[in-house]
Amino acid sequence: MTTLRKALVIGAGIGGLTTAAGLVRQGIETEVFEARSTPGRLLTGGGFMLWHNAFLSLRRIGLDEAVTADSVRMRFHEFRSDSGRRLARWHLDAPTERCGAPACALRRSALHKVLTEAVGEDRIRLDARLTGYTQDADGVTARFADGSTARGDVLIGADGLRSAVRAAMRRGFEPPPRYSGYTAWQAIARLPGESVVPTGTFFNLWGRGGRRFLYCRLNEDEVYWDAITSDRAARRIDTVRHTRAAAMAEAYRDWPEPIGRIIAATEEDAILPVSIHDRPPAGGWTDGRVVLVGDAAHPMTLNLSQGAGQAVESAVVLAGMLGRATPENLPAVLRAFEESRRARTADMVTTSWRIGTLGLVHSTALCRLRDLFMYTFFGTVARTQSYALMLDERLERDPVLPVARAAGSGGERSPC
């Protein structure tokens, strides 16, 4: 069987690097093309949550332990109202034991570092912005903004929400992403003190006036937070006359501690507002030898903390299927990949969107009703549904991807 000779991966985010790591592990020649010009800029961004399913997938490419080593394991996920009242508390130890993989908080840069090392820096070309591609019976050619080109058997578009590969696939016509109506102000604060923010709990506060606040400890010194403000709430946030930190402090002035302390401990430049978008689930992730993965294929809002988790899952599945593909059956393999991932990611996109609309509730009366709903259902029904969505049994059954033999061994692959 002739295996694939070369894969081109567009985008060195979580989806692109995970796919590339899976391909390199199987001995497939891989080159990653990233539009940004400096490795440092790739490592920006705050912290985030990776749930059990992401670690189960990372295990299949041998990277779960390296990522957990730089993460903090979460033992509780706690939902509160903006008065500080506890609405629900999920114990995460039992599912961790059951599925054999943790839920963790970590810096984005920590995950990027592990993935970059697994791919190999020499396989990542920076300052390479894809502008289009052409394909024929023998392969696919990627074109870049500097006039250069690259040729491979397969082109993987892992270039995020506003994917150029996706746009090229659709012959230049692509509706804009769907705007959620809210913004996430994400940051990492320097705030030591177990008594202020205890390690191991992911706090999730739902408030009145279209405001939410999430936070958790990342390590002894740092706390990751996300303030989510609806457009209506954001109209009162004045970043012309005030710094972002001062505007956030004002917006959350009446919220319980430690929120004021967390904001006060955050440097102005560390706060990054991101308007939240997704795309309604739709097929069409493949075009011959070209395929989309991660946010390019299935972008979702942040409410389930699953965008990166799903990017990792899809990337590992895609790499595994490409390891068994030939240049001849490649288009069919890519279609099978889409088929295998479409329903699961569509469920995630839809559920995440619905949860987000709960956060847009503005009036005090409706927020009280929502609190009651969360108090009644979030510790039981919602938790069960969320875990049923997150822990698909197949994730635990799928085999580990084979490791390629060392160079000089003729490129033969070892068995699983």
Ligand X SMILES: Cc1cc2nc3c(=O)[nH]c(=O)nc-3n(C[C@H](O)[C@H](O)[C@H](O)COP(=O)(O)OP(=O)(O)OC[C@H]3O[C@@H](n4cnc5c(N)ncnc54)[C@H](O)[C@@H]3O)c2cc1C
Tell me the catalytic residues: 215
Cβ–Cβ under 8 Å, residues 413 and 26: yes
Q: Determine which residue in the list 16, 22, 95, 320 makes contact with ligand X, applying CB under 6 A.
A: 16
10 is an interface residue for ligand X by CB under 6 A: yes
> Among residues 87 and 168, whose Cβ is nearest to ligand X?
168
Alpha-carbon span 250 to 252, nearest angstrom: 5
> Among residues 153 and 278, whose Cβ is nearest to ligand X?
278
> Among residues 191 and 315, whose Cβ is nearest to ligand X?
315
Q: Which DSSP symbol is given to 191?
A: -
115 is an interface residue for ligand X by CB under 6 A: no
Q: Which range of residues in 30-38, 77-85, 171-179, 333-341 is near ligand X by CB under 6 A?
A: 30-38
Please name the residues in contact with 322: beta carbons below 8 A apart, sequence gap of 6 or more.
Answer: 4, 7, 23, 26, 28, 154, 333
**From the CB of 216, what's the least distance to ligand X, in Å?**
10
119 is an interface residue for ligand X by CB under 6 A: no
Q: Determine which residue in the list 3, 6, 36, 196 makes contact with ligand X, applying CB under 6 A.
A: 36
**From the CB of 42, what's the least distance to ligand X, in Å?**
6
**From the CB of 250, what's the least distance to ligand X, in Å?**
21
With 0-12 CB in 10 A as exposed, 13-18 as middle and 19+ as buried, what is 336? middle
**Cα angle for residues 125, 126, 129 (degrees, 5° grid):** 100
13 is an interface residue for ligand X by CB under 6 A: yes
Please name the residues in contact with 18: beta carbons below 8 A apart, sequence gap of 6 or more.
Answer: 58, 61, 115, 311, 312, 315, 316, 319
Q: Which range of residues in 160-168, 194-202, 250-258, 319-327 is near ligand X by CB under 6 A?
A: 160-168
Please name the residues in contact with 72: beta carbons below 8 A apart, sequence gap of 6 or more.
Answer: 104, 105, 106, 199, 200, 216, 217, 218, 219
> Among residues 106 and 245, whose Cβ is nearest to ligand X?
106
33 is an interface residue for ligand X by CB under 6 A: yes
152 is an interface residue for ligand X by CB under 6 A: no
35 is an interface residue for ligand X by CB under 6 A: yes
11 is an interface residue for ligand X by CB under 6 A: yes
356 is an interface residue for ligand X by CB under 6 A: no
Dihedral sign for Cα atoms in the order 152, 153, 156, 162: positive
Strands 290-292 and 154-157: parallel
Residue 270 backbone phi and psi in degrees, to 5: -80, -15
Query: What is the distance, to the nearest Å, from the Cα of residue 141 to the centroid of all Cα atoms in its chain?
Result: 28
**From the CB of 334, what's the least distance to ligand X, in Å?**
17
Strands 104-107 and 72-73: antiparallel
Stretch 167-186: interaction string toward ligand X, x if CB under 6 A:
-----------------x-x
Q: Which DSSP symbol is given to 2?
A: P
Q: Determine which residue in the list 8, 130, 245, 319 makes contact with ligand X, applying CB under 6 A.
A: 130
20 is an interface residue for ligand X by CB under 6 A: no
Which residue type does 266 have? T
159 is an interface residue for ligand X by CB under 6 A: yes
Q: Determine which residue in the list 49, 245, 292, 334 makes contact with ligand X, applying CB under 6 A.
A: 49
Please name the residues in contact with 239: beta carbons below 8 A apart, sequence gap of 6 or more.
Answer: 247
Q: Name residues contacting ligand X, limited to 283-312 (CB under 6 A).
A: 294-296, 302, 305-309, 311
316 is an interface residue for ligand X by CB under 6 A: no
**From the CB of 392, what's the least distance to ligand X, in Å?**
15
Q: Which of 385, 303, 381, 395 is nearest to 349 (CA)?
A: 303
14 is an interface residue for ligand X by CB under 6 A: yes
Q: Where are the alpha helices (DSSP H) in 170-306?
A: 231-234, 244-251, 259-264
Site residues (vs ligand X, CB under 6 A): 10-16, 33-36, 42, 48-50, 129-130, 158-161, 164, 184, 186, 226, 274, 294-296, 302, 305-309, 311
